[in-house]
Amino acid sequence: MFNNLIQEVDNLSSFKHYGKVSQVVGLMIESKGPRVSVGDICYILVGKTKPFRKIMVEVVGFRDENVLLMPFDATTEIAPGSLVEATNKPLQIKIGTSLVGQVVDGLGRPLDHTELKNGLTNFPTDNTPPNPLKRPRITEALSLGIRAIDGLFTVGKGQRIGIFAGSGVGKSTLMAMIAKNSEADINVIALIGERGREVRDFVERDLNEDGLKNTIVVVATSDQPALMRIKGAMTATAIAEFFRNQGLNVNLMMDSVTRVAMAQREIGLAVGEPPTTKGYTPSVFATLPKLLERSGTNEYGTITAFYTVLVDGDDLNEPIADTVRGILDGHLVLDRKLANKGQFPAINVLTSISRLMNDLVTPEHKLAADKVRNYLSQYYDSEDLISIGAYKRGTNKDLDEAIKLYPQVINYIKQDLHEQITIDDAVRHLISEFGGQ
């Protein structure tokens, strides 16, 4: 610790470098100077009398020798000639075990405005993904406490899963269930671009005290600047990385990646990038892999990640959904039709997949899961005929079996919000009901 302090003192500069604001257009602030690098944090000094209020900004680019800055806060009071103070450092947040159970903003500051406790470590928010050759293979299943996922889409420690759904189909509730029931050591939940009203609802109603006691919630609401929403995702990932480096198994849940992409689109358009597919700029498709690849395994621990994707009009082929699906190790599709029927979780078994399941389960488990998918496929293919009474029993032996077992399959997939199970219970139930059919 003492050596670190000495090094900090040695790195301090005896000079402060300043620039001056020359222009503010929309989200973008331009200044003449100071000499900084992309990603550095600066402060704009505002107010008419000392002490001046400081607005935190980040360097996002340059134009005609001017520095382009994006704010973390509202840009009120900024005037032509306002001083821009350089720090010559990228954003760092304070992380430690005392953050567990807290709700923090995109910069790691408690939302209830309490002081951070001593003993926290400075940690950068923007880190490179682990070296691919130093990532241990995923060989151990993680119990999530959700029967449909543990039985039909078994997830491994360090796997990355997408949760694809339209609005109001149960993404947040599913995340809260995972946080409360999972056997992971710690949960990090990022609420990016959420309505302010929903934050307290999620923390107190969905998560409640049981879920919050081993969870850190990072919040960047929809009213905050685009850069703050991006940093919320980066901060949550950095917190998960910190605890992974301590040798823990971490659950990282981000709701939603779509709003992170929208925030990056705002920044890209403000900087002057050309819009491409659906108005998304090239930097969006460069940022997503950098963010999503940071989770997973490294030589110390694991980050099992769940990224929700808000699909416009339930279109699973829109650009962000398509890009994210290609990066992750599987996806769960929540179907509005199933939710309307009262099935929760509303997982569409036939369009969801876990790419690592075959490496994690026994042959008996895999066989039983395949049979469930086959029964559902047979039933849904002939559902219209069955509904109107046009199908005659005995015509198709496999379909007869699917119709007979359909209620059992749906009962297996359904789960009450407060029902707690283990992966062993889920697998035993699956094999006993469908393994011998």
Q: Strand 353-354 vs strand 186-194: parallel, antiparallel, or unpaired?
A: unpaired
- β-pair partners for 366: none
Our measurement of the distance from residue 78's CA atom to the centroid of its chain's CA atoms, rounded to an integer in Å, reads: 33
Average pLDDT score over residue span 54-59: 92
Q: pLDDT tens digits for 177-186?
A: 898 899 999 9
Maximum Cα interatomic distance, the chain, rounded to a whole number of Å: 88
**Rounded Cα distance, 70 and 63, in Å:** 14
Average pLDDT score over residue span 221-234: 92
Q: Is 344 exposed, middle or buried, given 0-12, 13-18 or 19+ CB atoms closer than 10 A?
A: buried
Instruction: Give yes or no for residue 437 having a pLDDT over 60.
Output: no
Q: pLDDT tens digits for 299-329?
A: 999 999 999 998 876 667 788 999 999 999 9
Spatial contact of 433 and 408, defined as CB atoms under 8 Å apart = yes
Task: State the CB neighbour count (10 A cutoff) for residue 343.
Answer: 18
Token readout for 330 is: 């599987």
Q: How far is CA 307 from CA 48, 118, 292, 310, 321, in A?
A: 45, 32, 9, 10, 11
pTM of this structure? 0.91
**Rounded Cα distance, 210 and 181, in Å:** 10
Spatial contact of 200 and 45, defined as CB atoms under 8 Å apart = no
Q: pLDDT tens digits for 89-138?
A: 899 999 999 899 899 999 999 988 888 888 888 999 999 999 999 999 99
Average pLDDT score over residue span 147-170: 92
Is the previous residue joined to 130 through a cis bond, with omega within 30 degrees of 0?
no
Q: Domains for the chain: give ranges and CATH numbers.
A: 14-90 (2.40.30.20), 93-360 (3.40.50.12240), 364-435 (1.20.1270.330)
Instruction: Give yes or no for residue 36 having a pLDDT over 80.
Output: yes
Q: Which residues of 256-278 are buried (b: 16+ CB within 10 A; e: fewer)?
A: bbbbbbbbbbbbbbbbebeeeee
Report the alpha-carbon angle 132-134-136, nearest 5.
95
Average pLDDT score over residue span 59-73: 90
What pLDDT is recorded for position 14? 66
DSSP secondary structure string for all residues of 220-251: EETTS-HHHHHHHHHHHHHHHHHHHTTT-EEE
Q: pLDDT tens digits for 260-270?
A: 999 999 999 98
